[in-house]
Amino acid sequence: MVLALVLSVTACGGSSTDTTSADGSEAQTELGKLVVGFDAEYPPFGFIAEDGSYDGFDLAMAQEVCKRLGWEYEAVAIDWNSKDTELSSGNINCIWNGFTCTGREDEYTWSEPYVDNRIVAVVRADSGITSLDQLAGKTVMAQAASSAVDALNDNAKLKDSLGSVVELADYNMGFMELQQGTVDAVAADLGVATFQTMNKEGDYVILEEPISMEQYAVGFKKGDTELRDAVNDVLLEMAKDGTMMEIAQNYVDDGLVLESLCLIEK
Amino acid sequence: MTFQTMVGMLAQGFLTTLAIFFLTLVGSLLLGLLVSFGRMSHFTIVRTIIKVYISIMRGTPLMLQLMVVYFGPSLLLGITPPGNWRFAAVIVAFIINYAAYFGEIYRSGIEAIPAGQREAAQVLGYTRVQTFIKIILPQMIKRVLPPVTNEVITLVKDTSLASVIGTVEMFTRAKQIAVAPNSPGMMTFVVAAVFYYVFNYLVAFVMERIEKALDYYD
């Protein structure tokens, strides 16, 4: 297990997000049930399947973790804006949905990062925009309370050059706005951007130059190390025995980028 | 995803919408009666409390009230809510919000009855309760039906606010479907609009029939 940890940390560029806190005892939740908070409008990580159940790469992994631990699994489609309140009130006990840990290290107790994500800008092909510099004076959409908003805020040079940033509740609305021309670009996670632009080749362009680089991990309530450790161990095991890759294959058609899975040794 | 699958999934979400609608309607129409009594009470304390309650319910957004009712017990008071609190919180928040509006509508209906009728009933030996049930209430119901219809129709549309605390009613479901792989996209919202419209058309129709049925003196 130690070896796996070391390997995975190396694979993910050496950033460890171990945030065990001193007041850990208070936040411990009872083991035996994983209540996953996720955004059902976030393919390929969380979305609604044709039979009305919730599906997605992250949910499939959460399900497998529960299966291996013999735990009860529940997925709750939350309003992404309320994720912190949902977690701190105990209505959910983890956030697992393309959840960025970079920059939020001190706010949650994290699993190992499992995806190397990039925040990218998507523009319409007919806009002629090919680089981030050309977004000067333009309107850019990002999902409210998302890491794309943080990425824009952190990139002061880019943000100051923009005309305005529109924050909406979900990315689908952003892409509808992009389509009708009311925003000039959408700043989104690579997976979401890939999903939204799939089968629409020629209409949209994902800019090569990323707005920021970041990682996804499973977020637990700050100090909930017992639950984190249990889930994390299984997660690493799944990366090692090939299960994670097997699950991932099912979501390639929904925009999942296999190369981004950083726990899997290449 | 086929058109039929999409409509079926929306219909499923509509069941939640209907549950919120009917539970709220029953709860708030009854609670509203108590609110109107309290608002007209001769006891200053009762009257003041109800006035403050109505003022808060009407003066803050329902979306915010939903969040306070749902998250308040655990985050403000430290009480661990029961497992099914999510849906229960929606119903509680909707009922206490709508009861405030219904209470004021009832009051307008009750106060519109000329005082002479009350005095006449008293002379005839009716008790206060008898006067209310046999004389005031039937007339009040007739008068308040149009504004009540307004509120009921608004309620159908307000159910979509439940999404803010993660309750998947039809509108939230529509947003989820619209972004799912191979979904019919924008068409989902058009179908959702049809669902709302048809249901509200039925509500308006039923309320009109009730109005007509109660119009026995004309």
What is the 8-class DSSP label of residue A42? B
B123 within 8 A of B142, measured Cβ to Cβ: no
Neighbours of B56 (CB within 10 A): 13
Q: Measured between alpha carbons, how far is B132 from B33 in angstroms, rounded to an integer?
A: 12
C-alpha angle A177-A181-A183 in degrees, rounded to nearest 5 = 60
Residue B209: what pLDDT?
Answer: 95
State pLDDT tens for residues A126-165.
Answer: 999 999 999 999 999 999 888 899 999 998 999 999 999 9
3-state secondary structure of A45: coil
State what percent of residues in chain A have pLDDT above 90.
67
Mean pLDDT lowest among A44-53, A217-226, B80-89, B97-106 = B80-89
Chain A residue numbers with beta carbons less than 8 Å from the beta carbon of B9 are: 48, 52
* Contact B181/A at CB under 8 A: yes
Q: Of A151, A134, A155, which Cα lies nearest the Cα of A142?
A: A151
Closest Cβ–Cβ partner in B173, B175, B181 for A172: B175
Residue B126: what pLDDT?
Answer: 95
- β-bridge partners, A119: A189, A212
Is B63 buried (19+), middle (13-18) or exposed (0-12) by CB count in 10 A? middle
Q: Measured between alpha carbons, how far is A58 from B121 in angstroms, rounded to an integer?
A: 70
**CATH 3.40.190.10 for the A2-114+217-260 domain, yes or no:** yes
Question: B87, B176, B177, B189: which to substitute to probe chain A, counting the most A Cβ within 10 Å?
Answer: B176
- CB contact under 8 Å between A52 and B9, yes or no, is yes
Identify the band that residue A21 occupies on the pLDDT scale cut at 50, 70 and 90.
very low
State what percent of residues in chain A have pLDDT above 70.
89
What is the CATH number for B206?
1.10.3720.10
> What DSSP letter does each residue of A1-36 carry, written as one string?
-HHHHHHHHHHTTT-------TTGGGG---SSEEEE
Structure tokens belonging to residue B2: 């086929």
Please report which helix (H) or strand (E) contains residue B15, including its range: helix B3-39
Q: Measured between alpha carbons, how far is A81 from A59 in angstroms, rounded to an integer?
A: 19
A255 within 8 A of A43, measured Cβ to Cβ: yes
Ramachandran quadrant class, A158 (left: phi over 0; alpha: psi -120 to 50; beta: rest): alpha
- CB contact under 8 Å between A254 and B9, yes or no, is no
Q: Measured between alpha carbons, how far is B67 from B167 in angstroms, rounded to an integer?
A: 12
Q: Is the pLDDT of residue A107 over 50?
A: yes
A200 to chain B, closest Cα gap in Å? 12
Q: Measured between alpha carbons, how far is A248 from B162 in angstroms, rounded to an integer?
A: 33
What is the 8-class DSSP label of residue A55? E
- β-bridge partners, A36: A75, A94
Residue A27: what pLDDT?
Answer: 53
Identify the band that residue A8 occupies on the pLDDT scale cut at 50, 70 and 90.
very low
- Phi and psi, residue A42, nearest 5°: -135, 55
**What is the predicted ipTM?**
0.72
Q: Of A73, A54, A53, A49, which Cα lies nearest the Cα of A63?
A: A73
Q: Measured between alpha carbons, how far is A227 from A159 in angstroms, rounded to an integer?
A: 38
Parent domain of B48:
3-214
For residue A136, the one-letter residue type is A
Identify the band that residue B218 occupies on the pLDDT scale cut at 50, 70 and 90.
low
Nearest residue of chain A to residue B85 (CA atoms) = A91
How much is the pTM?
0.80
Structure tokens belonging to residue A37: 């908070």
Rounded to 10 degrees, what is the CA torsion of A145, A149, A153, A156? Answer: -170
Closest Cβ–Cβ partner in A44, A86, A172 for B166: A86
Neighbours of B200 (CB within 10 A): 16
- Phi and psi, residue A85, nearest 5°: -65, -40
Rounded to 10 degrees, what is the CA torsion of A108, B166, A244, A263? Answer: -20
CATH architecture under which domain A117-213 falls: 3-Layer(aba) Sandwich (3.40)
Enumerate the domain spans of chain A.
Answer: 2-114+217-260, 117-213
Q: Measured between alpha carbons, how far is B110 from B36 in angstroms, rounded to an integer?
A: 9
Chain A residue numbers with beta carbons less than 8 Å from the beta carbon of B80 are: 90
- β-bridge partners, A34: A73
Q: Which residue has the higher pLDDT, B54 or B78?
A: B54
State pLDDT tens for residues A109-124.
Answer: 999 999 999 999 999 9
Closest Cβ–Cβ partner in B5, B178, B186 for A50: B5
Identify the band that residue A52 occupies on the pLDDT scale cut at 50, 70 and 90.
confident
Q: Measured between alpha carbons, how far is A36 from A96 in angstroms, rounded to an integer?
A: 6
Mean pLDDT lowest among A17-21, B34-38, B126-130 = A17-21
Q: Measured between alpha carbons, how far is B169 from B149 in angstroms, rounded to an integer?
A: 22
What is the 8-class DSSP label of residue B132? I
Q: Is the pLDDT of residue A11 over 50?
A: no
- CB contact under 8 Å between A89 and B5, yes or no, is no
Q: Measured between alpha carbons, how far is B160 from B152 in angstroms, rounded to an integer?
A: 14
State pLDDT tens for residues A150-209.
Answer: 999 998 999 999 999 999 888 888 998 998 889 999 999 999 999 989 877 788 999 999
Chain A residue numbers with beta carbons less than 8 Å from the beta carbon of B81 are: 89, 91
Residue B24: what pLDDT?
Answer: 98
Equal fold, A2-114+217-260 vs A117-213: yes
* Number of domains making up chain B: 1
Closest Cβ–Cβ partner in B168, B181, B186 for A254: B181
State pLDDT tens for residues B77-105.
Answer: 888 877 788 899 999 999 999 999 999 99
Q: Is the peptide bond before B181 cis (omega within 30 degrees of 0)?
A: no
- CB contact under 8 Å between B71 and A89, yes or no, is yes
A138 within 8 A of A42, measured Cβ to Cβ: no
B25 to chain A, closest Cα gap in Å? 25
Inter-chain contacts counted by CB atoms under 8 A, chains A and B:
68
Question: A26, A35, A48, A177: which to substitute to probe chain B, counting the most B Cβ within 10 Å?
Answer: A48
Residue A29: what pLDDT?
Answer: 63
State what percent of residues in chain B have pLDDT above 90.
80
State pLDDT tens for residues A56-86.
Answer: 999 999 999 999 999 999 999 998 888 999 9
